[in-house]
């Protein structure tokens, strides 16, 4: 199959509008690889993604539940206390381990 001027013009128009190679291929009746190859020969990048490929995702703020009337009263004393959490020892690097070993050897001999 050869590309005629009408198809090439429509290809350029759709590519500039942000359509993917697969969308253009289904519209023109070519394979996606044929459209990608033509775009490459025309100097366009094959990995181009339309602007809608990465939409901005905005987090919706969550609402805090309203306190019940019984919970809203001040508490005279705290019934439970959280227990202290033991710190986890950090992992030593190879260099630190060798330095500790060399220091221990110096101190013993």
Tens-digit pLDDT profile for residues 70-98: 565 566 666 666 677 777 778 889 999 99
Helix, strand or coil for residue 81? coil
Residues 6+ apart with CB under 8 A from 56: none
pLDDT tops 80 at residue 33: yes
Which residues, including other chains, have CB under 8 Å from residue 18's CB and lie 6 or more apart? 50, 51, 52
Q: Are 20 and 28 in contact (CB under 8 A)?
A: no
Q: What pLDDT score does 48 carry?
A: 55
Measure the CA angle with vertex 47, ends 45 and 52; round to 5°.
110
The more confident residue out of 51 and 17 is 17
The CA-CA-CA angle for residues 63, 64, 69, to 5°, reads 135
Residue 25 and residue 34 in contact, taking contact as beta carbons nearer than 8 Å: yes
pLDDT computed for residue 98 by the predictor = 92
What is the rounded average pLDDT for all residues in the chain? Answer: 79
The gap from C-alpha 79 to its chain's centroid, in whole angstroms, comes to 44
**Quick one: pLDDT at residue 89?**
79
Residue 32's nearest CA partner among 43, 16, 46, 14 is 46
């Amino acid at each position: 199959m050869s590309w005629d001027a009408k198809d090439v013009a429509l290809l350029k128009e759709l590519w500039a509008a942000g359509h993917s190679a697969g969308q253009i291929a289904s519209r023109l009746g070519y394979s996606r690889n044929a459209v990608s190859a033509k775009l490459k020969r025309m100097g366009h990048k094959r990995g181009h993604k339309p602007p809608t490929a990465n939409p901005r995702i905005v987090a919706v703020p969550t609402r805090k539940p309203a306190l019940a009337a019984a919970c809203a009263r001040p508490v005279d004393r705290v019934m439970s206390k959280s227990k202290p959490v033991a710190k986890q020892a950090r992992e030593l690097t190879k260099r630190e381990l060798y330095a500790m070993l060399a220091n221990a050897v110096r101190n013993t001999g």
